[in-house]
A = this chain, B = another copy of it.
Amino acid sequence: MTDPTVVLQASQPKLEDLLRQIVKLLEKHRLVETLVERDQTSPRHQLIESLVHRQHVVELQLKLRSLHPADIAYILEALPQDDRLLIWRQIEEERSGDVLLEVSDAVRNALVETLERAELLRVLEPLDADDLAALAEAVPEPVLADVSRRLPTRDRDWLQTTMAYPEDRVGRLMSQDVLTVRESQNVEQVLRLLRGREDLPLNTDSLFVVDARHQLKGVLPLRALLLNDPEQRVGELKLTDPVVFDASDAADDAARAFERYDLVSAPVVNGRGKLIGRLTVDAVVDFIREESEEDALNRAGLRGDEDLFAPIWDSARNRWLWLSINLCTAFIASRAIGLFEHAIAQIVALAALMPIVAGIGGNSGNQTTALVVRGLALGEITSENKGYLVLKELGVGLMNGLVWGATVGLFAYWLYRNWQLGVVMAVAMLLNLLLAALVGVAIPLILHRLGRDPAVGSSVLLTFITDGMGFFIFLGLATLFLL
């Protein structure tokens, strides 16, 4: 249950107001700091300033204390690094672990980097095994080992189990806190058991039924406890047909299943059917959001999760891999032009027209790729319908090629009053759009087959081909028919 003194923000505008208030407090704080520095000679003045200073810090701390960790995380993410650290230092120590859990990967890494080992240990101490598993990527190996050594044996074992799964597997997203019952218990007994607890784990909509060897027997929804006679035995109740995940299932599949069947929680078993954890909708929602944001950034060539307010040097390096790949492809495409320099020297108009052929090919191919990438993610593309898809996209390419080829052909004729140039332009456009349709389907399919994420590399490969081949086809046709 949420602490009732903590204010929850239902909407973004209210969150943004909150951010503005904090920024104002920070400004006051900094103003005072400057004054204190300026006037270090007068001890009395200094004392007053220092009191005012302390007052602002207290105001800031009170404000932060009234906020949910997720809202503090939001504020940290929206601040430049210096202000971020200033705020971080004002968070109560026993809550700073929760805040660390809520911030984005990029901000978490930046914060962990600045913390001293002892400080980091203090922050991590109040966290349980679930939380530590979530933070494991960001925390240096030896620190994590230190913290986990202080955990009870059971928790330490569990931490090792979950950490053994790769990041994109259910085993890594699951949580430890499962409530189990036996088939032989009756509703009254289960209710009494629950009343003995202080609280239920977050998102508990069902209890898991297990046998003596902890093998999963079924799922008992909480509402069955509310709706049924206290005398009834668990084994007799109509249990929901459970969706059970194996810890080695892909997290993305599990997210889809949560969506399809509107799940709130589901049991996770190991390869031998033993119940080892629980997957809950909050972890799934976070996973879906993170995946989609990461995809959007990756598509533009940013690795992982770049911090909006990262230092310039870090940001620049984060973008170099992508830019250097693009530079290589641009160089190669430029060599396709270099092959035809004699043609351009004779008909300079070719230089002005060639980017149009290449550009529209890229746009059209990217449309196809976007559709195929989504279809692959949804599992809608199978060996049975692949052929159909290629034919369909070639059909679309043909139709677009005729329409837009004619348009650009007429444009070229109108501009240069040379009908042969117009025809070459139209034919080059048609061929490049057909090529774009073909590689627009093929590239994501091939990347997928190779086990790579088609959302990431498809666009740069496609643009490389439509650019290079666009130049080559257009200038080649021009050389054949115009010179």
Majority-rule SS of A interface residues:
helix
When the two chains form their complex, are residues B285 and A371 in contact, meaning their CB atoms are under 8 A apart? no
Partner of A241, one of B6, B12, B371: B6
Q: A351-B341, A366-B300, A370-B297 are in contact. Are A195 and B227 (CB under 8 A)?
A: yes
Q: Please encode chain A, from 273 to 285, with 1 for each CB lying within 8 Å of some chain B CB and 0 for all others.
A: 0000000011011
At the interface with chain B, which of A52-60, A125-133, A138-146, A308-316?
A308-316
> Within A121-178, which residues are at the interface with B (CB < 8 Å)?
none
* A360-B331 Cα distance, complex, nearest whole Å: 10
Stretch of A42-50, A87-95, A112-120, A382-390 with 4 or more beta carbons under 8 angstroms from chain B: A382-390
Closest Cβ–Cβ distance, residue A82 to chain B (whole Å): 11
Taking A243-B8, A316-B399, A363-B322 as contacts, is the C-beta distance between A374 and B295 under 8 angstroms?
Answer: no
A77 pairs with B360, CB closer than 8 A: no
Contact B355 A330 (CB under 8 A): yes
- Specify the chain B residue showing the minimal Cβ separation from A24: B384
Q: How far is the CA of A382 from the CA of B350 in the complex (A)?
A: 46
**Interface positions of A from 65 to 92, Cβ below 8 Å from B:** 68, 70-71, 74, 77-80
Cβ-defined contact, B12 with A371, below 8 A: no
Whether A469 sits at the interface, judged by CB under 8 Å, is no
Contact of A337 among B246, B261, B352, B396 (CB under 8 A): B352
Residues of B within 8 A of A77 (CB): 378, 380
Residues A253 and B10 in contact in the complex (CB < 8 Å), given A194-B226, A241-B2: yes
A262, B348: Cβ atoms closer than 8 Å: no
Cα A262 to Cα B367 with chains together (Å) = 35
- Residues in B neighbouring A344, C-beta threshold 8 A: 344, 348, 351
- Asked if A40 is an interface residue, CB under 8 A from chain B, the answer is no
User: Complex Cα distance A295/B300, Å?
Assistant: 14
Question: Copies of this chain, how many?
Answer: 2
Interface size class of A (residues with CB under 8 A): 35 or more
Minimum distance in angstroms from A30 CB to a CB of chain B: 13
The answer to whether B392 and A315 touch across the interface, beta carbons within 8 angstroms, is yes
Decide: A313 and B226 in contact? CB cutoff 8 A: no
Q: Are A396 and B316 in contact (CB under 8 A)?
A: yes
Q: Which residue of B lies closest to A383 (CB)?
A: B20
B79 A385 Cβ-Cβ under 8 A: yes
* Cβ-defined contact, A296 with B295, below 8 A: yes
Q: A259–B292 Cα gap in the complex (Å)?
A: 14
Contact B399 A313, beta carbon cutoff 8 Å = yes
Q: How far is the CA of A16 from the CA of B13 in the complex (A)?
A: 43
The interface residues of chain B lying within 8 Å CB-to-CB of A1 are 221, 224, 238, 240
* Measured CA separation A281–B408 after assembly (Å): 49
- A380 contacts B78, C-beta separation under 8 Å: yes
User: Which residues of B are found within 8 Å of A13, using beta-carbon distances?
Assistant: 253
State A9–B261 Cα separation when bound (angstroms).
9
A122 to chain B, nearest CB (A): 25
Q: A256 interface residue, CB < 8 Å from B? A: yes
Considering only residues 361-401 of chain A, those with a C-beta below 8 Å from chain B are 363-364, 366-367, 369-375, 378-382, 384-385, 388-389, 392, 395-396, 399-400
A281-301 to B contact mask, C-beta < 8 Å, 1/0: 110111011001101110111
Residues of B near A301 (CB, < 8 A) are 363, 366-367
A364 with B223: CB separation less than 8 A: no
* List of 9 A-B pairs having minimum Cβ-Cβ separation, nearest first: A300-B370, A292-B292, A262-B282, A70-B260, A312-B395, A351-B351, A337-B352, A78-B380, A11-B253
16 additional A-B residue pairs with CB within 8 Å, beyond A78-B378, A284-B285, A300-B370? A3-B241, A9-B257, A11-B257, A74-B380, A77-B380, A102-B260, A200-B223, A204-B223, A205-B205, A222-B226, A296-B455, A309-B385, A309-B388, A330-B356, A334-B352, A350-B351
Residue contacts A-B, CB under 8 angstroms, 19 given = A8-B241, A8-B243, A9-B260, A10-B245, A10-B249, A11-B250, A11-B253, A78-B380, A222-B222, A222-B226, A259-B285, A262-B282, A288-B289, A296-B374, A308-B375, A320-B403, A322-B363, A335-B352, A345-B345
